[in-house]
Structure 1
Amino acid sequence: MRVHPIYFLRLTGLLDGLSLLVLMGIAMPLKYVWGLDKAVTIIGSIHGGIFCLYALAILYAAIRVRWSLLWSLAALLAAFVPFGNFFLDRRLKTAQDVYPLKPFNNALLVYAIVFFSFFDLFSQLPVMSTFAASVGASSFVIGFVIGLYSLANTFGNIISGILTDKVGPSKPLLIGLVLSSCALLLYHIVDQPFLLIIVRIIHGFVAGLIVPAAFTFSANNTTHEQQGRKVAFTGTFVGLAAIIGPAFSGIMASKTSVPFVFTCVAVMGFFLTILSVIFLKSTQACKKEKLKKDVPTSALIFNAGIIKAYGGAFLLMFSQGVIAYLLPLHVQSLGYDSKLSGTLMSTFGIIAVLLFVLPTNQIFDRVAPSKTMSIGIGFMGVSQLLIGQSNTTLALYCMLGLYGIGFALLFPSVNTMLIQSTPQELRGKAHGYLYAFFSLGVVVGSGLLGWLPFSIEEGFLFTGCLLLVFAAFIAVHKRRERLLNQQNNQ
């Protein structure tokens, strides 16, 4: 028997109300009267974790119950009022028998899992270097542990793809969610660089299990005519994670601690695990296609379309690595405040999200993915060339906006091309390799530019030229394919 969403909301609400009373009635007097500061730290952390679970219960109830959003607002406000949750519980007990449930949309859960995976990634960016330094890591080790996560990610991506094709996407999703949430809690035991390296390897590997399975699940339950738009809409949640994740972790870490930030993310992961156990395991995917016996597997997952998708994925994140590495240095060299780097990166993310969620996402179902891929890489290449030459805030914002347009065109195109070029039986493995190339792109992008003897402007110039060359290659290859098809039809 499934737990009713309102019952789950009531349970977490009572726990939240009780922990608030303990915080205010016991922990605060212990701190301010008897000077026991740790009382507030410990109880406050427990209360914060329970509140995160309560907030997720509110969200779950809003999705599943046919009631006014005023209920969700009242539930949220009650969390900040002593005894508020207890008064609300009486009303919720009656509402549990009055309001019917809505059918659950599995796509929403997959979107939430994609958001969690990338939120986990992006929430690390502002805090990992300082956390590594706080446990005694040298500057070399700090850089090493940051890149180590993406490197370990590649192995998780590949194994996830193989498992997805063998047992379906639901099991790798569940395994990835559980292990990633547990790995996030391991940061509490890190007190020296060696332990941090071990935890980063574990965290990166298990986190890599999620994304290939999530995108395969989405692709297998979407009609061919809507693949492009579906991937673009999924990209919205990647963009939102890129915008919200760094801000959340930066603010929370300054007020609490880095391990507490990761605990909050872990709570989200455990909550999604529960929902996945309930709803995804029973989902029936589309009928699988039968592979042609005379065609080797390598030919099916390394054809021209797939290779272009892998190349686009690698260059997408290679470019991201360059932006993450060189943009703050460029902004600093121009004499601007370091906060400008964050707002510039948010600008590109916001532009990309808007193109993903607005009717502009229809372009991905109407235009060939190779064409949008070529245009997207071209825009990103031009923006990289011009960022190094920009010396005003207006110019930098314009170039990052152009970069955001290119990113928004490229990300769905890469995924759509992969889906269209791969039979469903091998789609998991293809997604595994794809996101392995994503992960490698981040490592190579920042690492290669740090190793090459380039100035900041030369680094942007090199990256821009590399992207434009690949864009031209895709355009020329597409033209040749069209000419060959015309000749064969004559």
Structure 2
Amino acid sequence: MKSKIILYLVIVICFLDLFIQLPIITPFALELGASEFMAGIVVAMYSLFNMAGNMAGGYMSDKFGRRNTLLAGMIMQVFFVLIYTTTPSIAILLAVRAVHGFSSGLLTPAAFSLIADISRRSAIGKSMALTGVAIGTAAILGPAAGGIISSAVSYEMVYYILSGVYVFGTVLTFFAIKESSTDDSRTHHAATPFKDLLLRPALNVAYISSFTLMIAQGTLAFGLPIKTGLLGLESSMTGIMLSVFGITAIVVFASPVNKVFSLYKSESLVAAGILILSVSMMILHFAPSPAFIFIVMVLYGFGFGFVFPSMNKIIAEHSAMNERGKANGIFYSYFSLGSVAGSVIAGYFAAVFSLPFLGIGIITLVMLMILMFVRWRLDMNRP
């Protein structure tokens, strides 16, 4: 149990990297002279190279072990994060976002494969809900810390502190995390090729869900600072607003509400969550005041809370140990691809319509319809 708690702390560190940047990366890019559309590209660059890191991390965690992959990613993060502090131009910022996205991408497939490896099959749903608590914690601490530190000191100080956090994560992984994969699973890591996992019908439900969730998340990362700016608010308020959805998600994960993960099918919870996210996006477009935005963030948190553990549970249940790293790598590649799509499309909608949320809400509804079709086909083919 103690080792599992430490692993959840490592997951907090892995995701802190994403959330602490949410309120600052868009204004950071704008301060360096980027247009709104270019700022969207800057946000997306991290996720684009995160995809490559996810695939590499999944392969490495199956071949070399989960712990060794975590260590490699943590050490790279320490140094790549520091480069932000000396970034003089948009061109350099784009390059930094690329290398940082890759190193960050190594972490998540290894961490989630490790959690699935050590969880009893009957308890996978609860384990994934607890990973949601870890991610929700990062979602609370990260945006608030990023917004407050950048307002009180500078954007650069955020990255100095984040680098220090990854020094701690490296030490913690080295001394407290044990390898979960077996010699046999690592020997047979190549038995299932990426193509088979990519086309496996049950896993496709999780992949599409991941992509859709991160379209919404990428839009928040890009669009909420613009929305709060139009309302005359400081960047620190953006961070606080983003933290509200993390608090709500934790309530879903850690309270009696989490019984839904045992009572209902994961596919049904994913569909309900995506519908809630879509409605949240549309309402946010027209939100007239800070108080209204806070209410929408609570609604968004419920959607996130239903989707995240459910789609991770699907991955864990439909992959064996020797292929789980690659399955998680593909899964988190869709995660990253959704962030890219969300940021870029949101940047376009912002340039044309001032705010991106209404258009993204429509797109996520379309993705929900595609998901329902895939699920229908899957149910039709089951014996």
Same fold per superposition (TM over 0.5): yes
In structure 1, the partner of 2:233 is 337
Letter in 2 for 1:410: V
Q: Contact (CA 8 Å) 2:144, 2:239: kept in 1 or not?
A: no
C-alpha change, 1:419 and 1:382, in structure 2 (3 Å) is same
In structure 1, the partner of 2:130 is 233
Q: Which moved more, 1:473-482 or 1:183-192?
A: 473-482
Question: C-alpha separation between the residues in 1 aligned to 2:379 and 2:306?
Answer: 22
Q: Contact (CA 8 Å) 1:173, 1:209: kept in 2 or not?
A: yes
C-alpha change, 1:366 and 1:203, in structure 2 (3 Å) is same
In structure 2, the partner of 1:120 is 17
Report the alpha carbon displacement of residue 270 of structure 1 after superposing the two structures with TM. Answer: 1.7
List per-residue Cα deviations over 1:187-226 (Å, max 9, x = no partner): 3443454443333322221111111111111111111111
Q: Secondary structure at the match of 2:119?
A: coil
List per-residue Cα deviations over 1:237-259 (Å, max 9, x = no partner): 21221221122233333444443
Letter in 2 for 1:120: D
Identify which of 56, 77, 81 aligns with 1:159. Answer: 56
Q: Contact (CA 8 Å) 1:226, 1:365: kept in 2 or not?
A: no
Letter in 2 for 1:455: F
Q: Does 1:349 pair with 2:238?
A: no
Q: Counterparts in 2 of 1:352-371, with a 5 A limit? A: 352-371=249-268
In structure 2, the partner of 1:186 is 83
Report the alpha carbon displacement of residue 409 of structure 1 after superposing the two structures with TM. Answer: 0.4
Q: Which runs of 5+ in 1 are unaligned?
A: 1-103
Q: Contact (CA 8 Å) 2:246, 2:301: kept in 1 or not?
A: yes
Q: Contact (CA 8 Å) 2:266, 2:310: kept in 1 or not?
A: yes
Q: Contact (CA 8 Å) 1:116, 1:269: kept in 2 or not?
A: yes
In structure 2, the partner of 1:271 is 168
Question: C-alpha separation between the residues in 2 aligned to 1:191 and 1:470?
Answer: 38
Q: Which moved more, 1:105-114 or 1:204-213?
A: 105-114
Q: Contact (CA 8 Å) 1:370, 1:474: kept in 2 or not?
A: no
C-alpha change, 1:188 and 1:324, in structure 2 (3 Å) is closer
Q: Secondary structure at the match of 1:337?
A: coil
In structure 2, the partner of 1:423 is 320
Identify which of 245, 260, 265 aligns with 2:142. Answer: 245
Letter in 2 for 1:206: S
Question: C-alpha separation between the residues in 2 aligned to 1:295 and 1:267?
Answer: 38
C-alpha change, 1:285 and 1:357, in structure 2 (3 Å) is farther
C-alpha change, 1:206 and 1:342, in structure 2 (3 Å) is closer
C-alpha change, 1:131 and 1:391, in structure 2 (3 Å) is closer
Identity within the alignment, %: 31
Aligned-residue CA RMSD (Å): 3.2
Q: Contact (CA 8 Å) 2:77, 2:163: kept in 1 or not?
A: yes
C-alpha change, 1:262 and 1:167, in structure 2 (3 Å) is same
Q: Secondary structure at the match of 1:124?
A: coil
Report the alpha carbon displacement of residue 383 of structure 1 after superposing the two structures with TM. Answer: 2.2
In structure 1, the partner of 2:305 is 408
* Aligned pairs, number: 380
C-alpha change, 1:437 and 1:164, in structure 2 (3 Å) is same
C-alpha change, 1:325 and 1:182, in structure 2 (3 Å) is closer
* TM-score normalised by length of structure 1: 0.69
Larger Rg belongs to: 1
Report the alpha carbon displacement of residue 438 of structure 1 after superposing the two structures with TM. Answer: 1.3
Q: Secondary structure at the match of 1:126?
A: coil
Q: Which moved more, 1:368-377 or 1:233-242?
A: 233-242
Report the alpha carbon displacement of residue 413 of structure 1 after superposing the two structures with TM. Answer: 1.3
Considering fraction of residues, name the structure with more helix.
Answer: 2
Question: C-alpha separation between the residues in 1 aligned to 2:179 and 2:335?
Answer: 30
Report 1 or 2 for greater relative contact order, CA contacts < 8 Å, sequence distance ≥ 6. Answer: 2
List per-residue Cα deviations over 1:12-63 (Å, max 9, x = no partner): xxxxxxxxxxxxxxxxxxxxxxxxxxxxxxxxxxxxxxxxxxxxxxxxxxxx
Report the alpha carbon displacement of residue 304 of structure 1 after superposing the two structures with TM. Answer: 1.4
In structure 2, the partner of 1:7 is none
In structure 1, the partner of 2:43 is 146
Q: Which runs of 5+ in 2 are unaligned?
A: none
In structure 2, the partner of 1:202 is 99
C-alpha change, 1:229 and 1:281, in structure 2 (3 Å) is closer
Q: Which moved more, 1:339-348 or 1:440-449?
A: 339-348
Q: Does 1:214 pair with 2:130?
A: no
Letter in 2 for 1:429: K
Question: C-alpha separation between the residues in 1 aligned to 2:240 and 2:363?
Answer: 26
In structure 2, the partner of 1:388 is 285
C-alpha change, 1:221 and 1:253, in structure 2 (3 Å) is same
Question: C-alpha separation between the residues in 1 aligned to 2:66 and 2:288?
Answer: 47
C-alpha change, 1:336 and 1:365, in structure 2 (3 Å) is same
Q: Secondary structure at the match of 1:414?
A: helix
Q: Does 1:172 pair with 2:69?
A: yes
In structure 2, the partner of 1:306 is 203
Q: Contact (CA 8 Å) 2:117, 2:180: kept in 1 or not?
A: no
Q: Contact (CA 8 Å) 2:57, 2:325: kept in 1 or not?
A: yes
Report the alpha carbon displacement of residue 423 of structure 1 after superposing the two structures with TM. Answer: 2.2
Question: C-alpha separation between the residues in 2 aligned to 1:110 and 1:262?
Answer: 23
Question: C-alpha separation between the residues in 2 aligned to 1:465 and 1:428?
Answer: 33
Report the alpha carbon displacement of residue 143 of structure 1 after superposing the two structures with TM. Answer: 4.5
Q: Counterparts in 2 of 1:47-86, with a 5 A limit? A: none
